[in-house]
A and B are shown apart, each in its own frame.
Chain A
Amino acid sequence: MTKIDLESINVILATDCGSTTTKAILIQKIDGEYRQTHRGEAPTTVEKPFANVTIGVANSVTEVGELAGRKLVSDEGTIIQPASDNEGCDLYISTSSAGGGLQMMVAGVIAEMTAASAKRAALGAGAIVMDVISSNDKRRPHEQIQRIRELRPDMILVSGGTDGGTTEKVVELAELIAPAKPQPRFGSEYLMPVIYAGNKDARGNIEDTLGIDWIDLAVVDNLRPVLEHENLGPARDKIHDVFLEHVMAHAPGYDMLMDWTDAPIMPTPGAVGDILQTIASQRGINVVGVDIGGATTDVFSVFNETFNRTVSANLGMSYSISNVCAEATLPNVLRWVHFDMDERELRNRVKNKMIRPTTIPQSHEALVFEQAVAREALRLAYKQHKEFATTLKGVQQQRTVGDTFSQQSSGQTIVNNMELDLLVASGGVLSHAPRMHQTAMLLIDAFEPEGVTTLAKDSIFMMPHLGVLSSVHPKAAGEVFERDCLVFLGTCVAAKGLGKHGKPCFTYSIEGAISASGSLNFGDLELLPLGQDEVATITCEPAKGYDLGEGPGKKVVREVRGGTVGLILDARGRPLALPDERAACQKTIEQWTEALELYPAASAPEPVGA
């Protein structure tokens, strides 16, 4: 790959090869700033009869070219580089999640320690973790071997032991893989890549055990050299390399695509993680991003520069919708609906959505129900994320006598909603909601942000493109992310704490783009108009027992950003609690629905049986 002169780049082309659609975007330098100008898409052609991913890429790029009035694909079907007056691009990059993305199996000695670190490394690199094997996973060796044999991972990551720590247990893990001989997805000629990122003293033994003709063993630095420190970088980089060398090289047409690109092709979720990390680092903020799909929900978070990603494999809005309803239970889904619904009809609706995943709600009732399911899917996915994104376990604590009655255990979640600055949404149900107000309310109900949090959505799911771009041209990625990628919905100001309905929660006064003042009682929700690109300063004085970021009862002064929805003042308390009684719950939801103007044109349907 040749060295790129960043200053000379004026036209950037980026594609994301998804399982069904290949999306292309064009970024151009306009008046010294990088802006996303055109977008096109075409069906992905990785499966038969085409069996060549570059056909879909060329089709989507051709569409972009036609829209932009710029020839981007040559007559031979390749991307034209470099850019000239009205032709070609200076930089071409791509991500891929076609064919199910990158599927991995990870192994570590203790599930909560090295195995958890290995899982974090794999997820951070954009993989789907099929299973985690560890010495304490309560499975017998023959069961573990059987499980590894059943899985068909694209690669395996083995970790375990600190440097100078256990070798016996690590070798035991390797001895499970060797006899299992998992079959790769890409045929018998494919060498199974195994990355070893464990105790350096065990490398020799690992090479002896896994030095088999069907395994391609790669050794990198230990991801837990000491238990107090996690070193995920080398393992993540190696996963990317192996993804390109093995997985991509065996997928139809990817060898050609790799020749076209100016930067390594990245797994789509890995690229999303990269852009969020870049933004969090550039601005010094804490970010949470969510991508809710049909089968899975990805949650990304960057808190105090620590990145975490989780994939909730059974939480989605079409293929996994039944599982969402089963896991959340139908009464929990229905608590978000402000009118009566027939449960039997709802069950039919759920199953229909599962077997016809591409259908979209055709009625107000169907939309409200789908958004209720989305709230629960997001809530459960975020709960799983909080449980996974924790401080390291197995670390020595430093105590003083003052800790006598407050000894906190390690492994506490690092996700703190009060410190969250930016919440970014993507995925069909969030991105394509008829009103932005609905997207904002979905985010607030599911994630329960506390204090002052900016809400945004990814306009056209551009984050993967920008993620890979950030590795080549961080400035361009940052500019496009700010100006074109994110659609700011507004800011949510929410008080933490619980109280009695109707009692004062907090008072506020706003100055800047708008001037307003008032007070909210517990249970209230208020929407103030604060438009796109408008900024105001809000001063809030919470009542005793409520916290807005400075501690219970303490005054807060913050700058808030407007958006397509506005400024949302939320005095419903945290954790968010809904009345148990159905009629009271409906009434509460109806009040909130009206307060945020969620469904202004729609009237509630006739009661069932009327």
Chain B
Amino acid sequence: MLRRHWAMILGLTTLFLATGTAFATAGGATGSDVAHEWNLLEELFNPKKTWLLIWFILISGVVVYYIRVASSGKDLKVREIAGLSAVDEAVGRATEMGRPVLFINGILDINDIQTLAGITVLSRVARTAAEYGADLEVPTCRALVMTTARETVQEAYLAAGRPDAYNEDRIYYLTDEQFGYVAGVTGTMVRDKPAACIYMGAFYAESLILAETGNHIGAIQVAGTAMPSQLPFFVAACDYTLIGEEFFAASAYLSGDPKQMGSLKGQDMGKLIGAFGIILGVLMATLSVLFGGGIFETVLVYLSEYMFGDDGFLMTIILMAGGGG
């Protein structure tokens, strides 16, 4: 798999270089020949997206590098997320109080990335619940999510050495209807009074209803979602909230899968490059205003139009030099 990654990056780089070389050797040809070559190349490669290719290669390279590092067994440091360690605490509380743990996997279907990330967290919660001997209840909003959740929980109970404790009837489908589902879940919450409520997935307007009901019954609540509009509600009503990227990071961290961990680290590097670009851009724009353009203006234009825009890189320069632009 890793070799395939490298091969793909190498292939694309070779294609890029070969295209550039072919273009450069055409330097002695006439203007119409050059234009003809250019049209051919344009069908294979859009020179305006050159920087995009560079970023792609760079970030993919970093991701592949970190996947390799993670696969070699080296421990990749992931910042401690309070919400993550709170999962064990929440299950522990449920065990001490003799009450169930309620896990809500969001209201979207299995094709949503947040639902998948939630399933990874469910695996960890199920394993902890199996080890502690706590009851786990998972009402779902989609049939496919229920099936996936059942498989995941069963596997987790097996891994914990407690296959006998697995009860598939506690992972059930309620309804696809958003508020019908919420009514069903809140009814369960009020009746069974779970000691821990864990919300991991995509949520909409039901987030506050669920979280407030959980708060009212005195449960420890851990939420994780990448829906920006729902985050304030979860933060205010829950004990711990995994915010946006933290949710996916938690998923990767919990799974311990080298591919997920490496991707996480590689993406962080990509974000670091983006942040650096933003800081540099702001700095150049400020200096350009203060000192009246000049070199700062040129760098700023290159940053915004070329490096992070779609005016290309070598092609444009060469075309401009050859008069083809």
Contacts and interface: CB of A to CB of B under 8 A. Distances in A.
Contacts of B82: 407-409
Given A401-B232, A410-B89, A396 B218 contact: yes
Given A396-B239, A397-B239, A407-B83, A165 B98 contact: yes
Contact of B240 (A112, A166, A401, A407): A407
Interface in A106-130: 109-110, 112-114
Contact of B96 (A166, A401, A403): A166
Nearest to B97: A165
Interface string B78-104: 000011011011001101111100000
Nearest to B84: A409
B131 interface: yes
Contacts of A168: 98, 133
B259 to A, nearest CB: 28
A109 B235 contact: no
Contact of B93 (A160, A169, A394): A394
Given A162-B96, A166-B95, A409-B82, A112 B236 contact: no
Interface string A146-160: 000000000000001
A227 interface: yes
Contact of B97 (A166, A399, A405, A411): A166
A224 B238 contact: no
B241 interface: yes
A135 B132 contact: yes
A407 B220 contact: no
Which of under 10, 10 to 19, 20 to 34, or 35 or more describes the interface residues of A? Answer: 20 to 34
B92 A393 contact: yes
B116 interface: no
Contacts of A405: 243
Contact of B98 (A167, A224, A407): A167
The interface size bin for chain B is 20 to 34
A401 B243 CA distance: 12
Given A169-B133, A394-B220, A224 B96 contact: yes
Interface in B214-241: 218-220, 231-232, 235-241
Given A109-B95, A165-B98, A409 B86 contact: yes
A512 to B, nearest CB: 46
Contact of A404 (B93, B219, B235): B235
Contacts of B96: 109-110, 113-114, 160-162, 165-166, 169, 224, 227, 394
A408 B83 CA distance: 9
Interface string B116-148: 000000000000000111000000000000000
Contacts of A136: 92, 95, 131-132
Given A399-B236, A404-B235, A113 B93 contact: yes
A394 B92 contact: yes
A400 interface: yes
The winner among A160, A162, A399 for most chain B CB atoms within 10 A is A399
Contacts of A162: 96-97
A169 B95 CA distance: 8
Contacts of A169: 95-96, 98, 133
Secondary structure of the B side of the interface? helix
Interface string A220-238: 0000100100000000000
A112 B92 contact: yes
A408 B81 CA distance: 9
A396 B97 contact: no
A393 B95 contact: no
Contacts of B232: 401, 404
Contacts of B240: 397, 407, 409
Considering residues A110, A113, A403, which has the most beta carbons from chain B within 10 angstroms of its beta carbon?
Answer: A110
B323 to A, nearest CB: 54
Contacts of B83: 407
Contacts of B237: 399
Q: Which of B82, B93, B96, B241 is the most central at the interface, judged by chain A CB atoms within 10 Å of its CB? A: B96
Interface string B37-52: 0000000000000000
A460 to B, nearest CB: 45
A399 B95 contact: no
Nearest to B80: A409
A135 B95 contact: yes
A163 to B, nearest CB: 10
A168 B96 CA distance: 10
Contacts of A401: 232, 235-236
B302 to A, nearest CB: 34
Contacts of B243: 404-405
A396 B92 CA distance: 12
A162 B95 CA distance: 10
Contacts of A227: 93, 96-97
Nearest to A140: B161
Max chain A CB contacts within 10 Å: which of B82, B88, B92, B220?
B92
A377 to B, nearest CB: 28
Contacts of B133: 135, 168-169
A396 B99 CA distance: 15
Interface in A384-405: 393-394, 396-397, 399-401, 403-405
Nearest to B196: A394
A112 B99 CA distance: 18
Contact of A113 (B86, B92, B131, B238): B92
Given A135-B133, A136-B132, A165-B97, A112 B89 contact: yes
B220 A396 contact: yes
Contacts of A407: 82-83, 240-241
A167 B96 CA distance: 9
B98 A166 contact: yes
Contacts of A112: 88-89, 92
Interface string A165-181: 11111000000000000
B91 to A, nearest CB: 9
Contacts of B238: 399
Contacts of B88: 112
Nearest to A166: B98
A162 B82 CA distance: 24
B85 A396 contact: no
A45 B82 CA distance: 54
A4 to B, nearest CB: 42
Interface in A79-119: 109-110, 112-114
Contacts of A400: 236
Contacts of B219: 396
Contact of B95 (A110, A164, A411): A110
B230 to A, nearest CB: 13
A152 B93 CA distance: 31
A303 B133 CA distance: 35
A166 B83 CA distance: 25
B120 to A, nearest CB: 20
Interface in A343-401: 393-394, 396-397, 399-401
The 4 closest A-B pairs by CB, nearest first: A166-B98, A394-B93, A409-B82, A397-B239
Given A112-B89, A396-B219, A407-B240, 19 more contacts: A112-B88, A112-B92, A113-B92, A135-B95, A136-B92, A136-B131, A138-B131, A161-B96, A162-B96, A166-B96, A227-B93, A227-B97, A394-B93, A396-B220, A399-B236, A399-B239, A401-B235, A409-B240, A410-B89
29 contacts: A109-B95, A110-B132, A112-B88, A112-B92, A113-B92, A113-B93, A138-B131, A160-B96, A161-B96, A161-B98, A165-B98, A166-B95, A166-B96, A168-B98, A169-B95, A169-B98, A393-B89, A394-B96, A394-B220, A396-B219, A396-B220, A397-B239, A399-B236, A401-B232, A403-B235, A404-B232, A404-B235, A407-B240, A407-B241
Interface of A: 109-110, 112-114, 135-136, 138, 160-162, 164-169, 224, 227, 393-394, 396-397, 399-401, 403-405, 407-411
